[in-house]
Amino acid sequence: MAEGGQLEAPKPRLAVFKFASCDGCQLSLLDCEDELLSLASAIDIVNFPEASREMLPGPYDISLVEGSITTAHDRQRIHEVRANSRFVISIGACATAGGIQALRNYADVDDYIKTVYAHPEYISTLRTATPIAAHVNVDYELHGCPINKHQLIEVLLAFAAGRRPQVAADSVCMECKARGTTCIMVTRGEACLGPITHAGCGAICPAYRRACYGCYGSKDAPNVASLAAWFHESQGRDAQELTAALCRFNPEVPALREEARKWRPDAAKKG
């Protein structure tokens, strides 16, 4: 990290920034509890409003960014974060793939505003919710809704040590089999997104007999079309169910978005 002697202190300085999101991902950092203290011996947490009111100014070595870009102000603010940070790491489904609020990208945002708010005139928002990487260069994306704290620690320790994080882009099925869970797609005909979803959660949903709903985004080389065809042809699910299954937490993952639009061309026009 002390590359080129740019840093005075050997410990990298960490900041946490929030955009449109629920705070769940940054709370994963607080959730580290025991590990947080030793993490603090490797990293200086200098700007983390959820943890401390003391917020030191940049530049920062590592900025964790949570949330998606949904307002004109945020669209500008993310460039300031980028300019002030050596590494930008986006964390969670919102920051990496738009999050649940990106469902608006498939609809007319004015319809939503009229339905939800008593005074639509107070609302100032972009028509879309977009991931951080759509606006600035991102050095690392950590997926999940919320992210897994062990993976977060691994990524932070790796950046602090100047090595590559060990976060494999394998399928959730790999974790599901490693823990000895019986496949609920094969035994119960569930529409499980595990075969196209990025590992990291430890296959927690199938372990509780619930289909994976894809909150960790896409694995490497996802074959969404084949899985969707199986849901349709072998499980008898219709286009409505299919698009709902594919687009929950990560609507802006390109592979999911394209497949959903094949099944619901009407949604494509509005988005």
Partner 1 sequence: MVHWSPADLDALLCQLRDEGFRVIGPSVRDGAIVYTDIDALPVGVGDDQEAGRYRLRERGDKTRFGYNLGPSSFKQYLFPSREELFAYADGDIVPAPLDDEKLAFVGVRACELAAIQVLDRVFQGDGFKDRRYQARRQNLLIVAVDCSQSAPTCFCASSDDGPGVGEGADLVLTELLDDGEPSYYVRAGSERGAELLAASEADAASPELQGRARAVVDETREGLERLLPREGLRDALLGALDHPHWQELAERCLACGNCTQVCPTCFCSTAVEETDPVSLRVSHVRQWDSCFTAGHSYVHGGPVHAGIASRYRQWLTHKLASWEDQFGRSGCTGCGRCISWCPVGIDLTAEAEALRRTP
Residue 241's binding partner out of partner 1, ligand SF4, none, with CB under 5 to 8 Å set by partner kind: none
CB of 148 to ligand SF4, least distance (A): 16
Residue 212: contacted member of partner 1, ligand SF4, none (CB under 5 to 8 Å, by partner type):
ligand SF4
- The residue from 81, 192, 201, 253 that contacts partner 1 (CB under 8 A) is 192
- Give the residue with the Cβ less far from ligand SF4, 37 or 221: 221
174 scored as a contact of partner 1 (CB under 8 A): yes
User: Binds 157, which of ligand SF4, partner 1, none (CB < 5 to 8 A, cut-off by type)?
Assistant: partner 1
Side-chain-side CA neighbours of 168 within 13 Å: the count stands at 8
Binding to partner 1 (CB under 8 A) within 45-104 occurs at none
In this complex, which beta carbon is closest to ligand SF4, that of residue 99 or of residue 222?
222
- Considering the complex, what minimum distance in angstroms separates the CB of residue 102 from partner 1? 24
Site for ligand SF4 in 151-190 (CB under 6 A): 172-173, 176, 181, 183-185
Q: Is 180 in the site for partner 1 (CB under 8 A)?
A: yes
**Which residues contact ligand SF4 (rule: CB under 6 A)?**
172-173, 176, 181, 183-185, 192, 194-195, 203, 206, 212
